[in-house]
């Protein structure tokens, strides 16, 4: 039995319904046999039948790092009254409502237009909501239809969070000021979300076995009809065509109703084509570092020091003492693949007792490896990246003294161990020195190694991710139910935990979108995204091009999109690239989706692609970035054009002049080169032509070059990336 989402409810039919939908989608979900599906598909009222899919979550100094100063009384937070009339809906693992981050001190009454509810359930009363957390619901019918009844000793049949992810993301978007906040003394300071006065509504869709599309769609439906302004979704899965993708369908319905949707890009980096949640109406967020880290260095018996990071908070190793260090449960090499991963039961206590164990990253969770070492009697752990993770480091709240080192550091340690273990007189030794919290780290931001990258696998003519935001080592609220390492045996209780992922980057943008919407209530979702993109930056705090954590090399638009968000500048972008629902329909037409497929996404009964001819091609969607992919079928000269429309949201009587930075090997022209606006709200068009000559490439290979076009009036700078890819057909 597979179960399916279908469009349009049939009169007089009552299949085993999981959910019915009527806001962002018209239809129902039900558990059906294949025969039933085939029968349903022949019925005239059924437009489409979509198979169920499972998704997964993409697992505070960040406000200061983003320039959201609160002491000077000016700036974005002030101008938007902290977003107090806005509601952010967080579709995630639920919420732990008692956290201080969700207190409702000094907040006015719940906005009168709010239609949401505080659904009660296990360990969650309807009084668990307040003027901060104004709504909470849970959706598990799809989950239980696939997995059977949930185990109520490990999860709550209610909006309460038994995982931690949803509590963490909600407090990043809109947590109140809490002081002092820290995790075992790390990252001590004031904790605050991006929009500390915005209201929150939690929509729980993720359970122990994942987040099911039929439940996700039900959450979108409820959130939009409840009246949220922003939806934050740190969840994703494989990329499929939009008409088969509940997240793309639900978010189109939300954006069509004026709701901003931000979603995490995914943690599948650093490889290319890994970005998820790529629909052009979604704002797709990758992760960067902030200027804070948690150094914990490995000191080797030969005096060498390898730098690492850790959030270990218990008693340290004996100062000055060197410990024997072992790999694969032995001090030699050997072909013990599974033991070097420190999987459960793989370590021999006789070999590990009293020693530091070197474990390779992969398969089981980073913190779980520490638990395996601890149970086998080890005193410490060094977690070494392989080539796949490169130099990208993630700090964890380990259950024993432990640190994470990069691939090159790991190689250095292995080389030392292998040399030392050959000499009987000086067997390999090491210790870990925990250095606490370091701030003002340079360079920052750096694109996080795990952050998923372009090109966009579904719509190559739309650059994704759109932007990056802080997503490494983010301090935010955490439930009592889960220890900070996330492993079941960890019974420590903490108010705040530090996590990394594009899951953490996405709610930063959700909170910022609420602030921008509070300050500019008339802006559409596309306008908010445009403001974030055209003001984003690509240089770090050394004034150099942002680098990629995985290689240490300069990063590219495929890693960061338009760049890192700059909230203060996004407040006053000067010009915006706006997009209507009709423009998105033209985009779908030009992407060769059938009318039926388009109807599934847009719910418009009479989808019509005749207007799309005006737009010409999918790359003409009025997006704030410009992307073209040339197929070199033996051609020598290739060219493309883009039409764009900008709306003046700055000052009346302003004159913008263009600066063109063509991608290497291309020629780019813009007409006109000067835009003269008389009024605020006025729209003007311009035409961009890109010309290039073929380059020598192996069959199937491609070459990407990027540049930008910049409109400036002396006060505002409006930057759009221009991306040109040459592809040699196979």
Ligand X SMILES: *[C@@H]1O[C@H](CO)[C@@H](O)[C@H](O)[C@H]1NC(C)=O
CB 336, CB 330: distance < 8 Å? yes
Comparison of 200 and 588: residue with beta carbon closer to ligand X: 588
Q: Of residues 92, 221, 389, 586, which has the active-site annotation?
A: 92
Q: Which residues contact 234 (CB under 8 A, 6 or more apart)?
A: 57, 58, 92, 165, 169, 263, 264, 501, 502, 503, 504, 506, 507
Comparison of 449 and 502: residue with beta carbon closer to ligand X: 449
Q: Which helix (H) or strand (E) holds 232?
A: strand 230-233
Distance (Å, whole) CA 459 – CA 559: 16
Distance of closest approach, residue 590 Cβ to ligand X, in angstroms: 7
Distance (Å, whole) CA 387 – CA 116: 48
Active site residue 168: no
∠ CA 220-223-225, nearest 5°, is 105
**94 Rama sector, left if φ>0, alpha if ψ -120 to 50, beta otherwise:** left
CB 91, CB 223: distance < 8 Å? yes
Active site residue 559: no
Comparison of 32 and 628: residue with beta carbon closer to ligand X: 628
Q: Of residues 165, 520, 564, 716, which has the active-site annotation?
A: 165
∠ CA 417-418-420, nearest 5°, is 65
Comparison of 535 and 550: residue with beta carbon closer to ligand X: 550
Token representation of residue 240: 């499929």
Distance (Å, whole) CA 268 – CA 501: 10
Q: Which residues contact 691 (CB under 8 A, 6 or more apart)?
A: 637, 638, 639, 666, 667, 668
CB 399, CB 374: distance < 8 Å? yes
Distance (Å, whole) CA 81 – CA 198: 9
Distance of closest approach, residue 390 Cβ to ligand X, in angstroms: 8
Which residues are near ligand X by CB under 6 A?
A: 151, 153-154, 551, 553, 591-592, 618
Comparison of 32 and 140: residue with beta carbon closer to ligand X: 140
Q: Of residues 264, 503, 581, 654, which has the active-site annotation?
A: 503
Distance (Å, whole) CA 395 – CA 507: 20
Comparison of 151 and 653: residue with beta carbon closer to ligand X: 151
Comparison of 591 and 648: residue with beta carbon closer to ligand X: 591
Distance (Å, whole) CA 421 – CA 305: 18
Q: Which helix (H) or strand (E) holds 599?
A: helix 595-602
Active site residue 165: yes
Enumerate the active-site residues: 92, 165, 503
């Amino acid at each position: 039995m597979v179960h399916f989402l279908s469009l349009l409810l049939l009169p007089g039919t009552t299949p085993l319904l999981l959910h019915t939908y009527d806001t962002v989608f018209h239809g129902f979900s039900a558990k059906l046999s294949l025969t039933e599906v085939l029968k349903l598909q022949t019925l005239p009222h059924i437009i489409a039948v979509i198979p169920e899919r499972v998704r997964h979550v993409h697992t505070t100094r960040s406000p200061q790092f983003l320039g959201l100063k609160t002491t000077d009384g000016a700036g974005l937070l002030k101008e938007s009254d902290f977003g107090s009339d806005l509601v952010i809906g967080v579709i995630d693992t639920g919420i732990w409502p008692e956290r201080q981050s969700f207190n409702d001190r000094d907040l006015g009454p719940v906005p009168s237009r709010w239609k949401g509810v505080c659904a009660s359930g296990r360990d969650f009363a309807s009084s668990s909501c307040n003027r901060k957390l104004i709504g909470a619901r849970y959706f598990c019918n799809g989950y239980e239809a696939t997995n059977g009844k949930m185990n109520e000793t490990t999860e709550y049949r209610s909006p309460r969070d038994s995982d931690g992810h949803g509590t963490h993301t909600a407090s990043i978007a809109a947590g109140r000021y809490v002081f002092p906040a820290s995790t075992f003394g790390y990252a001590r300071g004031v904790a605050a979300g991006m929009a500390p006065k915005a209201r929150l509504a939690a929509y729980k869709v993720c359970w122990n076995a994942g987040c099911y599309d039929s439940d996700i769609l039900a959450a979108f439906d409820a959130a939009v009809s409840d009246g949220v302004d922003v939806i934050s979704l740190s969840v994703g899965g494989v990329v499929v065509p939009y008409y088969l993708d509940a997240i793309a369908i639900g978010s189109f319905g939300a954006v069509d109703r004026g709701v901003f949707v931000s979603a995490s890009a995914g943690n599948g980096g650093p490889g290319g084509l890994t970005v998820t949640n790529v629909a052009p109406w979604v704002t797709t967020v990758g992760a960067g570092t902030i200027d804070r880290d948690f150094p914990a260095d490995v000191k080797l018996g030969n005096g060498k020091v390898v730098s690492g990071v850790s959030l270990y908070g218990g008693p340290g190793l004996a100062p000055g003492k060197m410990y024997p260090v072992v790999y694969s449960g032995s001090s030699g090499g050997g072909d013990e693949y599974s033991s070097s991963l420190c999987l459960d039961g793989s370590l021999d206590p006789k070999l590990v007792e009293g020693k530091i164990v070197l474990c390779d990253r992969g398969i089981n969770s980073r913190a779980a490896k520490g638990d395996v070492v601890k149970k086998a009697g080890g005193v410490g752990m060094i977690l070494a990246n392989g080539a796949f993770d490169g130099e990208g480091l993630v700090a964890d709240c380990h259950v024993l003294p432990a640190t994470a080192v990069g691939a090159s550091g790991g190689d250095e340690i292995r080389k030392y161990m292998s040399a030392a273990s050959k000499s009987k007189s000086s067997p390999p030794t090491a210790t870990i020195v925990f250095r606490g919290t370091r701030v003002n780290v340079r360079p920052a931001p750096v694109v996080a190694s795990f952050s998923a990258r372009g090109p966009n696998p579904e719509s190559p003519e739309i650059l994704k991710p759109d932007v990056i935001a802080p997503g490494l080592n983010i301090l935010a609220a955490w439930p009592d139910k889960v220890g900070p390492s996330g492993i079941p045996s960890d019974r420590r209780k903490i108010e705040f935990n530090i996590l990394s992922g594009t899951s953490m980057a996405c709610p930063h943008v959700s909170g910022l979108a609420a602030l921008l919407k509070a300050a500019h209530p008339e802006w559409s979702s596309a306008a908010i995204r445009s403001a974030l993109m055209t003001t984003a930056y690509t240089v770090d705090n050394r004034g150099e091009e942002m680098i990629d954590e995985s290689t240490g090399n300069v990063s590219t638009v495929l890693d960061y999109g338009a760049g890192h968000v700059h909230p203060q500048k996004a407040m006053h972008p000067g010009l915006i690239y706006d997009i209507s629902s009709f423009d998105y329909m033209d985009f779908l037409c030009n992407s060769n989706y059938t009318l039926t497929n388009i109807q599934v996404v847009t719910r418009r009964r009479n989808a019509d692609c005749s207007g799309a001819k005006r737009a010409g091609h999918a790359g003409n969607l009025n997006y704030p970035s410009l992307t073209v992919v040339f197929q070199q079928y033996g051609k020598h000269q290739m060219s493309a054009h883009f039409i764009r429309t900008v709306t003046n949201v700055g000052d009346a009587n302003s004159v913008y002049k263009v600066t063109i930075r063509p991608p290497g090997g291309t020629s780019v022209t813009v007409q006109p080169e000067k835009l003269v606006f008389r009024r605020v709200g006025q729209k003007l068009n311009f035409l961009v032509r890109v010309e290039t000559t073929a380059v020598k490439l192996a069959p199937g290979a491609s070459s990407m070059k990027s540049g930008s076009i910049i409109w400036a009036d002396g006060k505002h700078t409006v930057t759009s990336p221009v991306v040109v890819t040459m592809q040699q057909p196979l």
